Amino acid sequence: MRKNFGRLFPDSSYRPPGLGRPLVWLAISVLSIGAVVGCKGDLSTKPRSVLIYPARPMAVSRDLVLGDGSVAPGELIREVNISYPVDPDSVADANEVLVLPGEYDGPVVVEFTGSFALDNGTIPVSDVMRDGYVMWYSDQDMLLSRRIDLILGDTAANGDTHYLYLPLEIASDSFQVVSTRDPGKGLIVHWGQAVANTLGQYPGGSGSYSPTCAIMLSFLCLAAPPHDSSYISTTPPVGTIRIRAYKGSAVPSISVSCTPSPVERGQEVVFSAVRDGGGPLPTISEWKFTSAALSAPIIEPTSDTVWSGIVATSGEVTVTGTLDGDSVVGNGQIVVQARDWGNDTVRYEVVPKDQTGVLPVQPTKVGHLGATANVGDLIPLPEEHEQITSGPQSGVWYWLHTPVQAQSWIYINRAALQVNSDFYLLQPATYTAPDSCLQSDVLPFVPLVEAHEGLHLETDSHAEVFRRKLNELVPPVAEPVVSLGIPQDLDAKTATETSAAILQAQLYAKDSSNGGVVLPVPYCYFRYF
Amino acid sequence: MYSQMISMPVWVTLRQLYSITASLVLLLAVSTSVSAQTARKDAPECSTVVEGLHPGMASASLMHGLVNVDRCPERGPVALARIWEAPPSDTAALETLGNVTLSVRDVRVIPAIVKTLDNSSMPRSIRLAALGTLVRLYSPDHVVQFKQRQGKNTTDQIYVLMGEWSHPVGDDGASPITQVDRDRLLAVITRCSQSNSDPGIRSAASQVLVRLGVGTR
């Protein structure tokens, strides 16, 4: 198991290589003695700096990228081996040339290999090269920190050097970075080490001083590690790093072009396998389309460099083949956009229904004078869906039109709302009280009931509100649904999407007193008993 | 629903206030008395109504005879149960029978409808009408209709057309359906979705359960 020997400055910044020199460190140490009390005081009143690994994202250099296989190492230019610890009394740091200015302008693959051994663990070279990485160890009960510097830099002929941070995110004993530089520039690696003593014994015991702030470096305070042996080695780090610089050469690759993209659902696209950078076309063996909307990839073994057909859903295209004898894989993407279904409405009709069993001949409340049942569901007609039969999305089902059918069943209590019915005769013939209905008010109420229910789709009726809300909610959720296989799968997926929209429209079209938006009809009061 | 215009006078005299208070007390007493009753009573004409209903009667006669069953919460469900044991075959009469059954929602009619649902010798349309009526007895806010898919790529699949009322309709019978009865109804529908002899009916029941929010597709 790897140990947490290393820690990061909580807010470290790049330290120029010159800071690795012994005299500089001596000066820093002297200054630190005077500054540590203030630093400790700060820590006691503020939240202690948290040295969680990694403390902050690495600065990604615009000139260095981790090797991703797109550039292969070719001819070896130079190899450097650096061993630690370095005797600080002889030499603390130096620059090693990997590529001389003007020697080679192409991409350089730099390979770092090695690790550092401590008493109970190892630290891979990738961790050591993280910005601000410090290893802790104890020597004769004194806590010491050791910082290893391995920094790449590009150099101009006049010696100007631009140092490059490594965008490291993984722990590895060996890794490659690719350097692309301006023409005429070389490449160096700066190496060095910095050793600093802490201000007391470690681990802390009775009468000993347990440092909470070990080093004052400029305005940075490097907090001591926890009093835990897993963080502290009893031996200094020892290791050798091998650095190799290779001429990089681009690996032949292919990609997929898609025309047009984006494309509207139901239209044809053409995928073409092309060689990156131009040149002879690859030899293709297979095309594959994958999409999160489909239950399985669509694979077509073929030697065609073009794959075309109607598409219904977005996804990724992968082409496999060979290029100059090497196996290659190219990728592309198709973005499918929704069709405008603003006029592709739900199939809808108003259905007048017989009142028997729903509205009693002798009503006992106003709700017995009329009612509407708004129904709807996924009931597709055969011509409303289509299956793609060839190309990248062969076998995919999609909708050509909104596959939902809806009806408003309208019930009017005509048995009660007629002359000489029991209900009619229950009403007074002449004036009795303000707001009370008379027999003469019975028949005029019929068109008001019809308009409220929406027998002729009157505005803001139960029926009209339902249809309007359906057409607002349902087509957008049905339009993008696709499936692979049998049409029943398309139905099932679509029903899941549309049922919520239909229910929402049904609730919306209820009476305002029943959770919907349809307002009551202002009228006089009928008698029911 | 239709509200009726209210035009309250702005000024209310002390005498009117007393009158209103007395009316409210009376109304409270009456409503308490009404709520204490467990069920509605049959209308006087119910003897004639139920005697006019016979199993196996012609659809036209049946539809005519069903008109006033909603006024018979005591004897109506018993007569309806007899009809459900030998229901009509035409869809209009079946729809009316279902609606009337919902107008006197009563636990006594359920066994006959379940028997029809489970009777594999009955036509599918009748068994689906039985299923739809059981669904509405379980959830009176809902309406349901079943449709068979037509055209190319057809299978035995039945589509469910389901919806909700603009406001509550129907009423309870003399033996209203309790929560325990609803649980049993749900169990019947669930069993139907799993083991009915007709795969189309099983599918329809499954879709209904999903729409009721108690099943998965």
DSSP character at residue A382: G
Residue B181 has pLDDT above 60, yes or no: yes
The alpha-carbon gap from B157 to the nearest alpha carbon of chain A, in Å, equals: 9
Q: Is A427 on the interface with B (CB under 8 A)?
A: no
Q: Which residues contact A46 (CB under 8 A, 6 or more apart)?
A: none
Q: Identify the pLDDT of residue A521.
A: 92
Which residues of B are less than 8 Å from A369 in CB distance?
2
**Residues B65 and B57: beta-carbon distance below 8 Å:** yes
Contact B116, B85 (CB under 8 A): yes
CB proximity under 8 Å: A 480-499 to B: 487-488, 491-492, 495-496, 499
Pairing of strands A213-217, A220-223: antiparallel
- Mutation pick from B167, B171, B203, B214 vs chain A, by most beta carbons of A within 10 Å, is B167
Tokens of A163: 């140092």
**pLDDT, average across residues B117-131:** 95
Collapsing DSSP states into helix, strand and coil, what is residue B203?
helix
**Torsion angle (degrees, nearest 10) of CA A382, B149, A346, A350:** 140
Q: What's the average model confidence in pLDDT over A36-54?
A: 30
Query: For residue A253, what pLDDT band results from cuts at 50, 70 and 90?
Result: confident
Q: Which of B68, B166, B206, B214 is the best mutation test for A, with the most CBs of A within 10 A?
A: B166
Bigger pLDDT: A16 or A280? A280
Sign of CA dihedral B83, B87, B90, B95: positive
Question: Is the per-residue pLDDT at A451 higher than 60?
Answer: yes
Residue A514: its chain B contacts at CB < 8 A?
A: 1, 166-168
Q: A77 pLDDT exceeds 70?
A: yes
At A338 the pLDDT is 96
How sure is the predictor about A69, in pLDDT bands with cuts at 50, 70 and 90?
A: confident
Nearest to B143 among A375, A434, A491 (CB): A375
The tokens for A128 are 């050591």
pLDDT bucket at A92, cuts 50 / 70 / 90 = low
Percent of chain A with pLDDT over 70: 77
Q: How far is CA A41 from the centre of its chain?
A: 43
pLDDT at A424 over 70: yes
Lowest mean pLDDT among A209-218, A447-456, B28-37: B28-37
Alpha carbons B37 and B49: distance in angstroms, whole number: 24
Residues forming a β-bridge with A301: A286
Check residue A158 and give its pLDDT. 87
Say which of B2, B101, B170 has its CB closest to residue A452. B2
Q: Say which residue the tokens 């530089």 belong to.
A: A181
- Check A506 against B164: CB less than 8 A apart: yes
Chain A environment of B5 (Cβ under 8 Å) = 435, 522-525
Partner A contacted by B15 (CB < 8 A): no
Query: In the prediction, which pLDDT does A228 show?
Result: 61
Task: Judge whether A509 is closer than 8 Å to chain B, CB to CB.
Answer: yes
Average pLDDT in the B193-209 region? Answer: 93
Per-residue b or e along A127-150, where b marks 16 or more CB atoms closer than 10 Å to that residue's CB: bbbbbbbbbbbbeeeebbbbbbbb
What one-letter code names the amino acid at B134? L
| pLDDT tens for each residue of B23-69 | 443 333 334 334 434 557 899 999 999 999 988 888 899 999 999 89
- A105 versus B9: the higher-pLDDT residue is A105
pLDDT tens, residue by residue, A185-205? 999 998 887 776 554 555 554
The answer to whether the CB of A361 falls within 8 A of the CB of A422 is yes
Q: Mutating which of A346, A354, A358, A417 best tests the B interface, going by the most B Cβ atoms within 10 A?
A: A358
- Listed in sequence order, the residues at least 6 apart from A37 whose beta carbon sits closer than 8 Å to its beta carbon are none
Predicted local confidence at residue A41, as pLDDT: 30
Any idea what DSSP says for residue A518?
A: B
Å between A230 CA and nearest CA of chain B: 53
Taking residues B134-158, report their average pLDDT: 79
The C-alpha angle with vertex A347 and arms to A406 and A399, in degrees rounded to 5, equals 110
User: Which run of H or E residues covers position A213?
Assistant: strand A213-217
Contact A367 B167 (CB under 8 A): yes
**pLDDT 10s digits, A493-506:** 998 889 999 999 99
> Are A511 and B160 within 8 A, CB to CB?
no
Which residues of B are less than 8 Å from A453 in CB distance? 166
**Residue A432 burial by CB count (10 A; 0-12/13-18/19+): exposed, middle or buried?**
exposed
Q: What ipTM does this complex have?
A: 0.80
pLDDT, greater one: A475 or A23? A475
Q: Which residues pair with A246 in a beta bridge?
A: A76, A109
**Average pLDDT value for chain A:** 81
The confidence band for A119, taking pLDDT boundaries of 50, 70 and 90, is confident
Q: Is the pLDDT of residue B8 over 70?
A: no
- What rounded mean pLDDT belongs to chain B? 82
- Has residue A219 got a pLDDT over 50? no
Q: Does A401 touch chain B (CB under 8 A)?
A: no
| Integer Cα distance of A398 and A377 in angstroms | 18
Q: How confident is the model at residue A223 (pLDDT cuts 50, 70, 90)?
A: low
Could you read off the pLDDT of A153-188 as tens digits, one per residue? 888 888 888 877 665 666 788 888 888 888 889 999
Whether chain A has a CB inside 8 Å of the CB on B7: the answer is yes
- 8 Å CB contact between A359 and A371: yes
How far from chain centre, in Å, is Cα A231? 35
Asked if residue B177 has pLDDT above 90, the reply is: yes
Q: Is the whole model's pTM more than 0.80, yes or no?
A: no
pLDDT band at A316 (very low <50, low <70, confident <90, very high): very high
Which helix H or strand E contains A169, and what residues bound it? Answer: none
What pLDDT is attached to residue A225?
62
Q: How much is the pLDDT for A160?
A: 85
pLDDT per residue over B64-116, tens digit each? 999 989 999 999 999 999 999 999 998 899 999 999 999 999 999 999 999 99
Q: Is A74 near chain B, with CB under 8 Å?
A: no
Residue predicted with more confidence, A324 or B16:
A324
Average pLDDT in the A514-525 region?
94
**Helix (H/G/I), strand (E/B), else coil: B106:** coil
How many cross-chain Cβ pairs, A to B, lie less than 8 Å apart?
Answer: 151
pLDDT of the residue at B2: 59
Nearest residue in B to A499, CA atom:
B211
pLDDT the model gives residue A151: 83
Give the confidence band of A216 by pLDDT, cuts at 50, 70, 90: very low
Chain A interface, best mutation among B34, B41, B69, B164, by max A CB count within 10 A:
B164
Task: Compare all CA atoms of chain B with the CA of A408 and give the residue at the minimum distance.
Answer: B163
Q: Which residues of B touch A517 (CB under 8 A)?
A: none
Could you tell me if B18 lies within 8 Å of chain A, comparing CB atoms? no
Binning pLDDT at 50, 70 and 90, where does residue A20 land? very low
